[in-house]
Amino acid sequence: MGFSRYEYAPPTSGTLVRTGEERATLVRRVYALLFTGILVTIAGALFAVSNQAVLTSVLQHPFIMIILMFGTLFAVRGASRSFPANIGLLYLFNLIMGVWIAPVLLFYAKAQPGVLAQAGIMTATAFGALTLYAFVSRRDFSAWGSFFFVGLIVLVVASLLNIFFHSNSLQTVIAAVGVFIFSGLLVFDTWRIRNTFAPDDYIPAALNLYLDVLNLFLFILQLLGGGRRRG
């Protein structure tokens, strides 16, 4: 499952959002990029599922896909202030992610018809509730970043170990922990948009939220699927 794509990074500028207008502009940019990026990911997944050659290539050459994903991810990070290249690279990453997760989506769709819609609805509901909580709450969530980042490292290690153990029960536990961790990261990253990101940091802000939402969806999907592993 694609769970290790989150990269903790501080704001790229020391200039914080100081006015309501700046904050509103940042929020509009971030969520526009997030929602359109999700649509691009869906398009990439549909393209891969409908093209057997592409689907076979993804399954047969996972390391090439991993290189493409992380290469594009680092390129997005590096060009976060270079408009319009930053937008193009972000959408390219969204597209690659859609192609990458297409076999997973196809597996669950065949195993349990309707489970993708259920996972999508649950993810959207969680996203709405957690986003509202982060924006409305007056709490300081700054400490959550390091806590959930450590949890993410533990999650990755446990998932790698389970590659050798092939335990469905352990995979279910990992999926539940993944939902918890990325829910926390979603709150933390939303709080950063409100409090620490600069007006021009819309690319890293949108990228972090996208990774949180995508991984939250994948872990919810895995929970609904009973922790079953693809392959």
- DSSP character string of 103-159: HHHHHHHHHSTTHHHHHHHHHHHHHHHHHHHHHH-----TTHHHHHHHHHHHHHHHH
Confidence of residue 7 (pLDDT cuts 50, 70, 90): very low
Q: How many domains are there within the chain?
A: 1
Domain assignment present for 44: yes
Task: Give tens-digit pLDDT for 83-124.
Answer: 899 999 999 999 999 999 999 999 999 988 899 999 999 999
Domain assignment present for 230: no
Is the preceding omega at residue 11 within 30 degrees of 0, hence cis? no
Q: What is the mean pLDDT of residues 52-81?
A: 91
| C-alpha torsion 186→192→198→201, nearest 10 | -20
More confident residue, 229 or 70: 70
What was the pLDDT predicted at 117?
Answer: 95
Alpha carbon distances (Å) from 185 to 12, 47, 162 = 18, 30, 23
Domain assignment present for 5: no
Domain with 54 in it: 20-224
> Where is mean pLDDT largest: 142-151, 171-180, 222-231?
171-180
Domain assignment present for 7: no
Domain assignment present for 146: yes
What was the pLDDT predicted at 106?
Answer: 94
Q: What is the pTM of this model?
A: 0.87
